[in-house]
A and B are shown apart, each in its own frame.
Chain A
Amino acid sequence: MKLAYYPGCVAQESGKELDKATRWVCRKLGIELAEFPTFSCCGSGFIDEANPVLNTALNARNLAIAEKAGLDILTICSTCTGMLKLANVRLKDPAVRTKVDGALAQIGVQYQGKTQVTHLLDVLVTRIGAEALAKRVTRPLKGLNVGAFYGCHLLRPQDELASESAEEPHQFEDLIAALGATPVLYRGRVMCCGFPILFVKEATANRIAAAQIEDAKAHGAHAMATPCPLCHISLDSFQPKVEKSVGHKLDMPIFHLPQIVGLALGATPEELGLPRHLVSTDAALARIGTVAVPA
């Protein structure tokens, strides 16, 4: 399987461990990653709030780059997935299409709408299949209760993104179960992590993150896992601040999606970049019989 790898900004910067873990897992599973240093940022929903046509054009360019190579795009971020898919939908509107095509023509790019966007979660559960993946597991995550945290833009708006369900998805839980861990069901799994307003009103963003972490904890989660590096920033990188805002420790390890997959497929914590997390994953690793060496 060969896919156009769209790492997104965060996985190339502060969330580099996500890129590292993705490459490890894809290598292990024989997913070939074609790289395009010409890909731009998806706009992250922010550019869309100032200029939706520009945002659609930026993503039409990204889609066209993969299309020219005859490949579908592999994303590892819920927001990138949402923005790229939304561009494909919006470009079905003839008025938007004309405007964007006109601009793309001036940079010698042609968009035809043939490239599909698929998140690593979907590749693992749909293209490879949970059962096939389960057969590759060498270190079952037995005894680890994992709360999946989806990230809004993987799921909503459901009609446009054609996601499995806006409010009751189960792909991620299926994956967690296939890895030998126990999926934890809780309301917060489809809620917002607070990230979009982290720089608007940090206290509110922290309260929102706290609510989801506490919800997962109340339902027995030893760790959470997310397919979105922006959620990871909110839930892991800012967890010390979140703890301050609620006035008590949370100690909730937050895994990137490919990190829990990598652990089950036998990767070392270092190969998955776990020592880069703000919240130690040691307690979770101890449950499955491996402990990270401190950074």
Chain B
Amino acid sequence: MTATETVRADLDIYRFDPERDRAPRYQRYTLDLAPHTPVLTALLKIRNEVDPSLSLRYSCRSAICGSCAMVINSKSRLACRTPIGPEIAAHGRIVVDPMRNQPILRDLVVDMAPFWGRYRKLEPHLIEDPSKPMPVGATTSMTPEEVARFKETPRCIACGACYSACPAVEHDPEFPGPMALAKLYRFVVDPRDGATKQRLVQIQPNGLWLCLRCHLCTEACPKDVRPSERIIDLKELAIAEQGGTEHGSRHVLGFKRNIEDRGVLNELKLVRDTYSPFEMLAQIPYGLKLARKKPETLKSPKAIEGQSEVKKLYEILDREEGE
């Protein structure tokens, strides 16, 4: 029998007890562990054998419950699913912080109330169509194609890693968050849902269009729900439902027209298509400041050669899509 190979793991863990500590600190614990040991197992070993005061949230230890999301070496992820070996190899140590964008209660435990609050506002549950009430006890069946439209969203375990990673959540209190929108998508495409249209209308102001398309949520998600892609799907549905009623949708439609016209972006026209005349007026002083350094800002570019080909692609694919 060969001896199990171990690595020396330095864990720098965020410690803060608001009742006792004046300021947060990092506490180092050093353990010798097999490289495949999950960070969660290391944390529990510390709590059980070294320091019982360490607070953390966990339950299933197998990436099903979604309780142990935290920030490990600056990435939001599940501690039970992050082996220590690659972390030590890449960083020389393991820095463990509580999730971002949520108030810290103690050590690695955050208050998830804001996360759930922004989520509940979207009513992410089935809303029956009042004109088609389902008889009590009745069951409905869906075709495999209908189920496939949910994409990966039913896999979500509400761990909050996407919320922790999201810059729109971090910098805008109105943004519902990646999980909330991915879950909303799931109901928007559910053939049993009777509130699809209202959902697509309500979610636009200060919601959908604040997504930055940065895909940090998709990288953070331990279940490959790919929230950023579901948000893009929602934007497409919202435009199909309502057209350009918001800055976000006007910007998208303006951009699309812009390329249809010239094949290349006309920056000034895009801004004009997005803003109201009043907003446009308000932008003039800054626009002139920009144009002093960058005169092209106020000029229209020439159309590309072969613009007729681009126009033709629009004729074939955009009309078809619209039908």
Please list the residues of chain A having a beta carbon within 8 angstroms of any beta carbon in chain B.
Answer: 9-10, 12-16, 37-41, 43-54, 57-58, 61, 99, 102-104, 106-107, 109, 152, 156-158, 166-168, 187, 191-192, 194, 196-197, 199-201, 204, 207-208, 211, 237, 240-241, 275-278, 295
Contact = CB atoms under 8 A, between A and B. Distances in A.
17 contacts: A14-B290, A40-B263, A41-B265, A51-B236, A51-B317, A103-B316, A106-B316, A107-B312, A156-B215, A156-B218, A157-B226, A168-B90, A192-B216, A197-B211, A197-B212, A199-B274, A208-B212
B21 interface: no
Interface residues of B, number: 64
Contacts of B229: 157
B109 interface: no
Interface string B245-267: 01110011101100100011101
A166 B219 contact: yes
B89 interface: no
A56 B263 CA distance: 14
Contact of A200 (B248, B270, B313): B248
A110 to B, nearest CB: 13
Given A38-B305, A191-B167, A200-B247, A50 B74 contact: no
The DSSP consensus for interface residues of chain A is: helix
Nearest to B75: A167
Contacts of A38: 304-306, 309
A5 B239 CA distance: 33
B267 A49 contact: no
A18 to B, nearest CB: 11
10 tightest Cβ-Cβ pairs between the two chains A and B:
A156-B215, A9-B265, A192-B214, A46-B255, A40-B263, A38-B306, A152-B214, A49-B235, A107-B309, A166-B219
B49 interface: no
B310 A58 contact: yes
Contacts of B219: 156-158, 166-167
Contacts of A39: 304
Highest count of chain A CB atoms <10 Å: which of B211, B246, B270, B317: B317
Contacts of B20: none
Given A99-B317, A204-B172, A40 B212 contact: no
Contact of B264 (A9, A45, A48, A102): A9
A39 B216 CA distance: 30
Contacts of B247: 199-201
B321 A46 contact: no
Given A38-B306, A106-B316, A201 B172 contact: yes
Given A13-B301, A58-B259, A152-B216, 15 more contacts: A9-B301, A12-B264, A38-B304, A46-B252, A49-B232, A50-B236, A51-B318, A54-B321, A57-B317, A61-B313, A107-B313, A109-B309, A197-B210, A197-B212, A208-B170
Nearest to A105: B316
Given A13-B265, A51-B321, A168-B90, A204 B310 contact: no
Given A39-B304, A106-B316, A191 B296 contact: no
B121 interface: no
A103 B286 CA distance: 42
A168 B239 CA distance: 35
Contacts of B309: 38, 61, 107, 109
Contacts of B259: 40-41, 43, 47, 58
B307 to A, nearest CB: 8
A196 B90 contact: no
Interface in B217-234: 218-219, 226, 228-229, 232
Contacts of B239: 49-50
